[in-house]
Structure 1
Amino acid sequence: MPMQQRMEMWFQAWNSLMQDMERQGARVWPLIIDPPALLDEIEAREKSLGISFPPTIRKILQEGSRQVQINWSLPSRALDPFSLSGDLGWSLDAFEWPYFGVDEECEDDKRYLSFHVGGNGDMLLIDLSTDAEDPPVYSWGHETGEFLLLGKSFTEFVERVTELGCIGAESWNYEALACEDGLDVEGQVAQEWKEWLQAFRTLTLDEAVQDFEKLVVFAKMHGAEDERIQAAFAQYDWEQVLHVWVKHIEQETTSSNLLPWCQLIVKTVGKKAESWVLSLWESEHCERLGSSLRAYVTAVCLPEEEGLQRVIAEMDEVVARKECLLGYAANSHLHHFRAREVILWMEPHVAYPIEGWDDLFAVSRPQWLDLIRWLDGNEAQRQIALSAWGKMLANGESPAGEADWQEIHRLLDVAYEKAILRKEKERVDRIRSALETTMY
């Protein structure tokens, strides 16, 4: 097949892929397919490298495109069993002799020519040692230093990686799909991935609402933030829906996927999942999700007072064991409640570092009385209150109730005078500046 015709087919496949991914809610970057390179541009690059490009590479640059870039990533809420993303490209200017991380000259330094670098530093390389018109392609992992054959020729690599949705260019994207002949597009993993990707590209909500199994697949791919998805699940018995999600949680082997499963329960079952959440507090089930995720579903699915009492009691146990309670941990367990009672509980427990504590204060619906009390408290409380107030102002939020502005400005003056670090003074200055432009 003539190279120009082959590349037109690639261009069509890439355009179709990116249009589908964008329509289905994936994050996509602008598809770059530049015009062909001029002959004198190619020769100038060859001269700077001290080589002549293999004939097929030269033909692709001269008859196809001097630069191609394809990037996509799935939404964070997508339960993708493969965790792959899209990254394929080349550029006339990107052809470089690779550096493999050794100071002395390496025998591979002039064997391989890099044509694309992944976001983590892994490289896609053509192997010049074969003197082939269409050279093999390898991936090089910057952490392992290992070379992985991706295609016995450049065109074979592009054909196969295009069939796989332009996955790459970090080595881990290819590992489960590589064999001794390069990327395997017919094996079990490849077939499962291609089926999953095809479903993601084509399955619509209108189609999914007609069939429960398809609706489950759609929600696994897109989450259930959309009210239309929630309404579609409301057509079915909530116990049936909960059973599906709980079964997936029990079978899940990747800890990072547990949050999306919990989010699906929260959005499609909500407070009807109360009994299941209570079971998580029983000793034989308490370790499955971990305490932070258990706190999340507790905040949403149990009555607020009961849920908050359970999580605060858990935090008190940490303190009673004389373990260090950091703000990050407290925030991860309590911020979902968005309850002022959390601020009252925090007060005797906060300490440096303030990170996490300030976020928790800001989302816990503070009143002006709380802010004044903390500004007039110990040093950690004051800095937490100032940081939290700054976060609220940045979000267009303010404490509830009536503000005693005379006392607030006095406390800001005191905070500035007592500030030792520059960042502490800057924190006060940012609040003063924001107040000058805020109507209160």
Structure 2
Amino acid sequence: MTTTFNFELFKKRLNLFLEKIEDLGGETDPLTIEKPATEEEIKAVEAKLGYTLPPHFREVLLENTAHLEFGWDIDDIIDEEDISLPDKLAEIFRGKLLFGLDLLLGYEEDRQDWEGDAYPNSDKEYDRVWHNKMSFFQVGNGDYIAIELEPENYGKVVYLSHDGSENHGLYIADNFKEFLMNYAAVGCTGGEDWQWEPFYTKDKGIDPTSKNTKTWYKVLGINPKELEG
């Protein structure tokens, strides 16, 4: 399955999951993709942040969309036993992706509050993970998905946990564009880590070729070829 960034294919994957979730009786939100940002709009946010946005993230905002919303929920049909999930996928109940230039400053303010109030000591391994990141996705339970700003792993997508998850600090994609393609290929399950964790493969991140991903496709009635260009 391709991970080369292709925005049209990315949208196709999102729409396919919405279609399949609706077919099963789940709830979906309309896919919202706003127009790209202007260079001036991006520079205004960068000036407030004090740094240039990581290139893959910046390019998506500038070339594809300045704001995207995607979501679905199967909690009700699980409770009503209209759908049965295998044990390894039993924690999945929703999918979500929400990012935007307009959200970035608020997300970063919240992350910095966590960093300053709860995890201020960069000498501690757990605390250090919260430092020098750019959060772009607020999961909703206090966790974040962010982009690494430290030089050694600059640009990688990393999970930030507020409550001691073993996935805290886990890199789940090599860059933002790879994250979008692979996350869309599993229906953007989560974003809580226990929902996307079944699709994680060490050294690969979120892996649309994993055994659990194939099982997930069978549950939803997806032919993997439908997710290709």
Structure 1 residue 123, shift from structure 2 partner:
0.8
Structure 2: how far apart are the matches of 1:57 and 1:161?
Answer: 15
1:104 paired with 2:120, answer yes
- Contact 2:136/2:146 (CA < 8 Å) preserved in 1? yes
Structure 1 residue 188, shift from structure 2 partner:
2.0
1:39 to 1:110, Cα distance in 2 relative to 1, 3 A: farther
1:113-192 alignment runs, 5 A limit: 113-130=134-151, 135-144=155-164, 146-181=168-203, 182-192=205-215
Structure 1: how far apart are the matches of 2:131 and 2:43?
Answer: 19
- Determine helix, strand or coil for the equivalent of 1:176: helix
Structure with the largest fraction of strand? 2
Structure 1: how far apart are the matches of 2:43 and 2:96?
Answer: 27
Structure 1: how far apart are the matches of 2:178 and 2:45?
Answer: 24
* TM-score normalised by length of structure 1: 0.41
1:89 paired with 2:89, answer no
Aligned to 1:279: none
The amino acid of 1:153's aligned partner reads N
- Contact 1:138/1:148 (CA < 8 Å) preserved in 2? yes
- Determine helix, strand or coil for the equivalent of 1:158: helix
Structure 1 residue 149, shift from structure 2 partner:
1.8
Cα deviation digits, residues 164-191 of structure 1 (max 9, x gap) = 1121211111222222221122232222
Cα deviation digits, residues 373-393 of structure 1 (max 9, x gap) = xxxxxxxxxxxxxxxxxxxxx
Aligned to 2:218: 195
Structure 1 residue 90, shift from structure 2 partner:
1.2
Structure 1 residue 66, shift from structure 2 partner:
0.7
Structure 1: how far apart are the matches of 2:85 and 2:140?
Answer: 20
Structure 1: how far apart are the matches of 2:131 and 2:173?
Answer: 19
Structure 2: how far apart are the matches of 1:147 and 1:175?
Answer: 13
Structure 1 residue 38, shift from structure 2 partner:
1.6
The amino acid of 1:177's aligned partner reads F
- Contact 1:149/1:178 (CA < 8 Å) preserved in 2? no
Unaligned runs of 5+ in 2: 123-127, 224-229
1:156 to 1:117, Cα distance in 2 relative to 1, 3 A: same
The amino acid of 2:134's aligned partner reads L
The amino acid of 1:104's aligned partner reads P
Aligned to 1:36: 36
Structure 2: how far apart are the matches of 1:62 and 1:12?
Answer: 20
1:268-347 alignment runs, 5 A limit: none
Structure 1 residue 126, shift from structure 2 partner:
0.7
The amino acid of 2:65's aligned partner reads S
Paired positions, count? 197
- Contact 1:94/1:114 (CA < 8 Å) preserved in 2? no
- Determine helix, strand or coil for the equivalent of 1:174: helix
- Contact 1:121/1:170 (CA < 8 Å) preserved in 2? no
Structure 1 residue 60, shift from structure 2 partner:
0.3
Unaligned runs of 5+ in 1: 201-440
Name the % identity. 26
Structure 1 residue 108, shift from structure 2 partner:
4.2
| Structure number with bigger Rg | 1
Structure 1: how far apart are the matches of 2:101 and 2:147?
Answer: 13
The amino acid of 2:160's aligned partner reads W
1:241-252 alignment runs, 5 A limit: none
- Contact 2:129/2:169 (CA < 8 Å) preserved in 1? no
The amino acid of 1:102's aligned partner reads A
Aligned to 1:355: none
Higher RCO (C-alpha 8 Å, min separation 6) = 2
Cα deviation digits, residues 267-306 of structure 1 (max 9, x gap) = xxxxxxxxxxxxxxxxxxxxxxxxxxxxxxxxxxxxxxxx
